[in-house]
Amino acid sequence: MTTWQLPLLWLMLAAYTGSFMLYVFSAWSKKENMRKPALYAAYLGLLMNLAVLILRTYLIKGLPLNNGYEFGLCFAAAVMVTFVFMERKFKLDFLGLFVLPIVVLLSCWLINLDLSVEPIMPALRSYWLAIHVSAAVIAYGAFAISFAIAIAYLVKMNKAEKKELKKLDELSYKAIFVGLPFLTIMLVTGSVWAQYAWGSFWSWDPKETWALITWLIYAGYLHTRFLGWQGKRSAWLAVLGFAAVIFTLYGVSYLMAGMHSYIG
């Protein structure tokens, strides 16, 4: 059944890519009626994404949170679930245009990973793993959405009405407001776990340090809001924050050696 993962992943990629293209076509041709098929394709992609996750759960007989591939699957699902929720609740029918590229790129990366089931190392056999990685999935999912909304803001800045821009600014802020507490929980649980597993709650490992840098950027974002920052400046800060997320997840794994090197 391990081999079933790849076709499902291809279907997931195809659906997400199709959805993105429909969104692009809809925006380019200004045909509102294309948005519904785009959304249905996104649902189909999410369904495939969840199917791979369920299959993986069955294959590894546990929560799929043990390596980069499993994390990537959960991350893509978290981004899409949040997208569907935001799309429906706040009627942001253009949001797909900015969210889908994230999951398309993520799916392309996932397809190229080793999909085989390997036993996990003793250090990862801990209940802290589930809490730590779940918090990361939710936090990074929320930040991805805040990033997509911030990009939407920057793109629409000179065209959209003030009210719509204000709504985008507020939603990007809200997504960060949801994500940052989860990022804090991720850092805390990771530190406690590191103390038990490695004998040190903080080792300035590149992954840890970049997670802290991400936390600092978003903490800075919240503080600058109190200093009156909003709109364009906040949007750029949200973009910077997500760049830090991506670097923490992928840049560090591929470019820097460290204690978290197993996740790549």
Inter-residue long-range contacts of 213-218, CB under 8 Å, 24+ positions, other chains counted: 213/244, 213/248, 214/143, 214/183, 214/241, 214/244, 214/245, 214/248, 215/180, 215/183, 215/184, 215/187, 217/241, 217/244, 218/143, 218/176, 218/179, 218/180, 218/183
**Closest distance to other proteins from the beta carbon of 108 (Å):** 26
Give whichever of 57 and 230 is closer to other proteins, judged by the CB atom: 230
Give whichever of 36 and 170 is closer to other proteins, judged by the CB atom: 170
Residues in the site for other proteins, rule: CB under 8 A?
A: 119-123, 125-126, 128, 166, 169-170, 173, 177-178, 180-182, 184-185, 188, 191-193, 195-199, 201-202, 204, 206, 209-210, 212-213, 216-217, 219-220, 223-228, 230, 252, 256
Give whichever of 107 and 172 is closer to other proteins, judged by the CB atom: 172
Separation of alpha carbons 41 and 38, rounded Å:
5
**Closest distance to other proteins from the beta carbon of 213 (Å):** 5
Cβ–Cβ < 8 Å for 65, 71: yes
**Closest distance to other proteins from the beta carbon of 181 (Å):** 3
Give whichever of 11 and 178 is closer to other proteins, judged by the CB atom: 178
